């Protein structure tokens, strides 16, 4: 069976998808901002549905907007084989994160169809809602709900993370306005709803390119955790409030951020990473002493116990900070997830396909999280990585070569075909 991905079609579709954006064009690459349920996201979803129906695939959306594009197999009663990813993009991102797995998955299905394959098991492409945490403060909303990792009522009550509290809309308001109604309980899929799950994604790191290897096999996915810290001090006039009388929330926040960095580095483990990516200062006036600061922490590790040990060390620093600076510091857990291991069987199939195509893949950890992290709760999983230039991602200069992208799609298609015949 000759499987041949249509590279030109795939590249043109990736370029078209990149036009659904509200990012200002930049010189260093293709800037994409596509926030979940924004007009650009909704237009992109409608366009994707058109591509799928044009190919004769069945299309359905669930109550939170996860999109399912299905190619029925000869025995449709069997659990399907699934692939997919996301098309939402953080502000000023690139055009390959997630989209390679969605459009690459679609092209893999089309290439298999063109090859004359009649899959025994249905093959389903999933486009997840809100893989990025940008709008609602937590990533992988769609796959968390599918896998039962997030309580539906808590999910619907999530508020827009970057809007003022008094105007921030809830998920239920936003999804309903976007046309996704129904009870979020209905999003959950039974364990082993799928026979197997396989996601194609750019590496978002430098290793494959650095070692000149065209394909990565993800053997485990690091475990992310998210926390929100609110530091409350005493505001006041930048001129009249004397230093000894101050309880400057931003100075306390600065010490907290450095404590997080110090304790993360102290593990001396390459897999422990932490980022305070947002810092909201109130009132945010140059001549007003900050009275309140909200920080969002993203901390990850392949070893959840080591990740927790960093948090414990930070908490003891927080206690000292509270006393010395007379500030109030509250911690809110957003998520603390377990890592995921890939299915040895699927990894073996990928290795067989690579050997047959003369490819020597690299086994590796994914430090970025993906919807696959949550699909691992309900199905055997694996991921395929393709190189990205200089390891850059979440930036407009994010780039994957046509050759690497096409090869990733070809391997994906071959593994899907094997899984669908099981
Ligand atoms: O942050 C991540 O790991 C993913 O790209 N959302
Ligand atoms: Mn991303
Ligand atoms: Mn991604």
132 carries a ligand binding annotation:
yes
Q: Which of 113, 115, 114, 129 is nearest to 72 (CA)?
A: 113
Q: Looking at residue 165, what is its pLDDT?
A: 87
86 carries a ligand binding annotation:
yes
Q: Give the global pTM.
A: 0.91
Identify which of 132, 203, 301 to mutate to test ligand 1's pocket (most ligand atoms within 8 A of the CB).
Answer: 132
Q: Looking at residue 23, what is its pLDDT?
A: 86
Residues near 35 by Cβ (< 8 Å), separated by ≥ 6?
41, 88, 89, 91, 132, 134, 135
What values do phi and psi take at 416, rounded to 5?
Answer: -60, -40
Q: What percent of the chain has pLDDT over 70?
A: 100
pLDDT digits (tens, 9 = 90+) for 114-155: 999 999 999 999 999 999 999 999 999 999 999 999 999 999
Q: Looking at residue 192, what is its pLDDT?
A: 83
Q: How far apart are CA 323 and CA 189, in angstroms?
A: 48
**2: pLDDT confidence band, cut at 50, 70 and 90?**
confident
Q: What is the number of residues in the chain?
A: 422
CB of 131 closer than 6 angstroms to any ligand 1 atom: yes
Rounded to whole angstroms, what are the CA distances from 377 to 186, 230, 259, 310, 354?
17, 32, 33, 26, 27
Which token pair is 126? 């999933």
Residue 221 has pLDDT above 80, yes or no: yes
Residue 24 has pLDDT above 90, yes or no: no
201 carries a ligand binding annotation:
yes
Rounded to whole angstroms, what are the CA distances from 333 to 68, 137, 260, 327, 418?
31, 11, 15, 20, 41
**Residue minimizing CA distance to atom 5 of ligand 1:** 368
**170: pLDDT confidence band, cut at 50, 70 and 90?**
very high
Quick one: CA dihedral 375, 63, 189, 338, positive or negative?
Answer: positive
Q: Which domains, from first to last, does the chain contain? A: 7-222+339-420 (3.40.630.10), 224-336 (3.30.70.360)
Residue 1 has pLDDT above 80, yes or no: no
Average pLDDT over the chain reads: 97
In 3-state terms, what secondary structure has residue 286?
coil
User: What's the gap in Å between 396 CA and the centre of ligand 2?
Assistant: 12
97 carries a ligand binding annotation:
yes
Q: How far apart are CA 317 and CA 262, in angstroms?
A: 11
Q: Looking at residue 100, what is its pLDDT?
A: 98
pLDDT digits (tens, 9 = 90+) for 37-77: 999 999 999 999 999 999 999 999 999 999 999 999 999 99
Which token pair is 237? 């006039």
pLDDT digits (tens, 9 = 90+) for 394-415: 999 999 999 999 999 999 999 9
Pair 119, 108: CB distance under 8 Å = no
Q: Which atom of ligand 1 is nearest to the CA of 131?
A: 6
Residues near 245 by Cβ (< 8 Å), separated by ≥ 6?
234, 236
Q: Looking at residue 162, what is its pLDDT?
A: 87
In 3-state terms, what secondary structure has residue 93?
strand
CB of 299 closer than 6 angstroms to any ligand 1 atom: no
pLDDT digits (tens, 9 = 90+) for 263-306: 999 999 999 999 999 999 999 999 999 999 999 999 999 999 99
């Amino acid at each position: 069976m000759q499987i041949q991905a249509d590279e030109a079609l795939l590249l043109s579709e990736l370029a078209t998808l990149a036009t659904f954006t509200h990012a200002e064009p930049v010189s260093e690459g293709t800037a994409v901002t596509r926030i979940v349920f924004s007009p650009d996201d909704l237009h992109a979803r409608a366009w994707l549905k058109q591509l799928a129906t044009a190919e004769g695939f069945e299309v359905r959306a669930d109550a939170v907007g996860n999109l399912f594009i299905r190619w029925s197999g000869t025995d449709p009663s069997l659990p399907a084989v699934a692939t997919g990813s996301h098309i939402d993009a953080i502000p000023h991102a690139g055009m390959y994160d997630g989209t390679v797995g969605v459009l690459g998955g679609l092209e893999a299905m089309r290439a298999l169809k063109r090859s004359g394959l009649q899959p025994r098991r249905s093959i389903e492409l999933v486009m997840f809602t809100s893989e990025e945490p940008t709008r609602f403060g937590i990533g992988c909303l769609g796959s968390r709900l599918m896998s039962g990792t997030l309580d539906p009522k808590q999910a619907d009550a999530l508020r827009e993370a970057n809007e003022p509290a008094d105007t921030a809309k809830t998920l239920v308001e936003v999804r309903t306005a976007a046309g996704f109604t129904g009870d979020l309980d209905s999003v959950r899929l039974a364990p082993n709803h799928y026979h197997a799950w396989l996601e194609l994604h750019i590496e978002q790191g430098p290793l494959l390119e650095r070692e000149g290897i065209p394909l990565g096999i993800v053997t485990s996915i690091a475990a992310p955790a998210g926390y929100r810290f609110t530091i409350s001090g005493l505001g006041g006039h930048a001129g009249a409030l004397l230093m000894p009388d101050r309880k400057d929330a931003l100075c306390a926040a600065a010490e907290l951020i450095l404590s997080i960095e110090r304790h993360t580095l102290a593990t001396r483990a390459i897999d422990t990473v932490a980022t305070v990516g947002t810092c909201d200062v109130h009132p945010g006036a140059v001549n007003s002493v900050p009275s309140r600061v909200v920080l969002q922490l993203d901390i990850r590790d392949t070893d959840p116990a080591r990740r927790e040990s960093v948090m414990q060390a930070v908490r003891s620093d927080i206690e000292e900070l509270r006393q010395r600076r007379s500030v109030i510091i509250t911690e809110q857990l957003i998520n603390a997830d377990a890592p995921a291991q890939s299915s040895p069987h699927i990894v073996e199939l990928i290795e067989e396909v690579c050997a047959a195509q003369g490819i020597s893949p690299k086994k590796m950890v994914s430090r970025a999280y993906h919807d696959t992290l949550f699909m691992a709760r309900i199905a055997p999983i694996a991921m395929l990585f393709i190189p990205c230039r200089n390891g850059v991602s979440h930036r407009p200069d994010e780039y994957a070569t046509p050759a690497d992208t096409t090869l990733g799609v070809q391997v994906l298609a071959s593994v899907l075909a094997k899984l669908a015949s099981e």
